[in-house]
A and B are shown apart, each in its own frame.
Chain A
Amino acid sequence: SQQGEEDPQALSIQEGENATMNCSYKTSINNLQWYRQNSGRGLVHLILIRSNEREKHSGRLRVTLDTSKKSSSLLITASRAADTASYFCHVTGGFKTIFGAGTRLFVKA
Chain B
Amino acid sequence: NAGVTQTPKFQVLKTGQSMTLQCAQDMNHEYMSWYRQDPGMGLRLIHYSVGAGITDQGEVPNGYNVSRSTTEDFPLRLLSAAPSQTSVYFCASSGSGDGYTFGSGTRLTVV
A interface list, Cβ under 8 A from B: 1, 30-31, 33, 35, 40-45, 48, 88, 90, 95-102
B109 within 8 A of A: no
Q: Chain B: which residue is nearest A90 at the CB level? A: B100
B59 pairs with A45, CB closer than 8 A: no
Q: Are A95 and B56 in contact (CB under 8 A)?
A: yes
Cβ-based interface call for B52 (8 A): no
Q: Is the CB of B45 within 8 A of A88?
A: no
- Interface size for B (C-beta < 8 A) is 26
Tell me if B102 is interfacial: C-beta within 8 Å of chain A. Answer: yes
Q: Which residues of B contact A33 (CB under 8 A)?
A: 99-100
Kindly provide the distance from the CB of B30 to the nearest chain A CB, expressed in whole angstroms.
11
Q: Are B43 and A99 in contact (CB under 8 A)?
A: yes
Cross-interface CB contact of A42 among B42, B48, B105, cutoff 8 Å: B105
Contacts of B92 in A (CB 8 A): 43
Q: Within the assembled complex, what's the spacing in Å between the Cα atoms of A1 and B45?
A: 10
15 contacting pairs across A/B (C-beta < 8 A): A1-B45, A33-B99, A40-B88, A41-B104, A41-B105, A43-B92, A45-B99, A45-B100, A88-B43, A96-B45, A96-B59, A99-B35, A99-B42, A99-B44, A101-B42
CB–CB B31/A95 < 8 A: yes
Instruction: Give the CA-CA distance A71 to B102 in the complex, in Å.
Output: 24
Q: Give chain A residues whose Cβ lies under 8 Å from the Cβ of B40.
A: 101
> Which of chain B's residues have a CB closer than 8 A to the CB of A30?
97
Residues of B within 8 A of A99 (CB): 35, 42-44
Contact bitstring B86-109, A, C-beta under 8 A = 1, else 0: 001010100001111111110100
* B48–A95 CB distance below 8 A: yes
**What is the minimal beta-carbon distance from B98 to any residue of chain A, in angstroms?**
7
Task: For B98, list chain A residues within 8 Å (CB).
Answer: 48
Closest to A44 in B: B102
Given known pairs A41-B105, A100-B42, A101-B41, the reply for A95 and B50 (CB within 8 Å) is: yes
- Distance between B92 CB and nearest chain A CB, rounded to angstroms: 8
Q: Which residues of A contact B44 (CB under 8 A)?
A: 98-99
